């Protein structure tokens, strides 16, 4: 319905084929909250081991980057060395899904891996993850293609019903479980509103419950003297 409504709007505003869109008066059904699939600790360990053992030279670093930053698949693969500021510990994304520039923190293990990759990444002075020699002829692709290596790693790790985009959900879920608020997650992931991160509210509520429980244990550890 959204696609058809957009087509009708174009027909009205751009082409003048219609006076009004017939879908303007149609109530659209409410969109679902969205899928939330994230890696358990055991799954994460198995996947990282499988990625590290992959014959693809980029897969392990790319997956670590996705888990550490919450960046999208395309955002990572299109990265240029000029986008990375090691001194300030950040990545500047100039092209994002919502069309706005975004700054992503780069710290810890992800930063060290990228620095190590920089020392060995002299094949391409621009792209961080350029296409390998065997991929250069694939429709003129300039960045690496990881689909086959990714699916192989998932199979080797024994992980089912998991997509690369779910690494982004995993990063968000880990942030929640480590005390990040929904507004902080939205800022890290680059969402303009909290609507997209509401799906993590149940994890946030679980974390809040633990915080309140610890507070109660502390203040009521000793019975108030009567």
Q: What is the CA radius of gyration of the chain?
A: 22
pLDDT in the model for residue 72? 93
Which residues, listed in sequence order, are joined to residue 46 by a DSSP beta bridge?
none
CA–CA dist 1, 132 (Å, integer): 40
pTM of this prediction exceeds 0.85 = no
Identify the structural domains of the chain with CATH numbers, from first to last: 1-30 (no CATH), 41-215 (1.10.443.10)
pLDDT for 91 equals 94
Task: Say how many C-beta atoms besides its own lie within 10 A of residue 21's C-beta.
Answer: 18
pLDDT in tens, 59-116: 999 999 999 999 999 999 999 999 999 999 999 998 777 777 889 999 999 999 999 8
Which residues are identified as catalytic? 72, 97, 165, 168, 191, 200
Tell me the residue length of the chain: 226
Three-state secondary structure call for residue 94: coil
Q: Is the distance from CB of 39 to CB of 170 less than 8 angstroms?
A: yes
Q: Which residues of the chain have pLDDT under 50?
A: 137-140, 225-226
């Amino acid at each position: 319905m959204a696609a058809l409504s957009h087509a009708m709007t174009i027909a009205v505003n751009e082409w003048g084929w219609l006076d009004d869109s017939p879908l303007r008066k149609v109530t659209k059904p409410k969109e679902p909250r969205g899928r939330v699939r994230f890696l358990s600790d055991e799954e994460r360990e198995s996947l990282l081991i499988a990625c590290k053992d992959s014959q693809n030279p980029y897969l392990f670093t790319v997956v670590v980057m996705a888990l550490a930053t919450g960046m999208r698949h395309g955002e990572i693969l299109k990265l240029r060395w000029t986008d990375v500021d090691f001194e300030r510990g950040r990545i500047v994304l100039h092209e994002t899904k919502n069309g706005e520039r975004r700054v992503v923190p780069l710290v810890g293990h992800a930063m060290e891996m990228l620095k190590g990759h920089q020392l060995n990444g002299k094949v391409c002075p621009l792209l961080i993850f350029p296409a390998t020699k065997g991929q250069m002829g694939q429709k003129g692709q300039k960045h690496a293609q990881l689909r086959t290596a990714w699916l192989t790693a998932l199979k080797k790790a024994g992980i089912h019903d998991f997509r690369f985009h779910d690494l982004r959900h995993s990063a968000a879920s880990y942030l929640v479980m480590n005390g990040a608020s929904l507004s902080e997650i939205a800022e890290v992931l680059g969402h303009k509103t909290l609507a997209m991160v509401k799906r993590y509210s149940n994890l946030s509520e679980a974390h809040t419950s633990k915080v309140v429980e610890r507070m109660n244990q502390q203040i009521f550890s000793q019975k108030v003297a009567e």
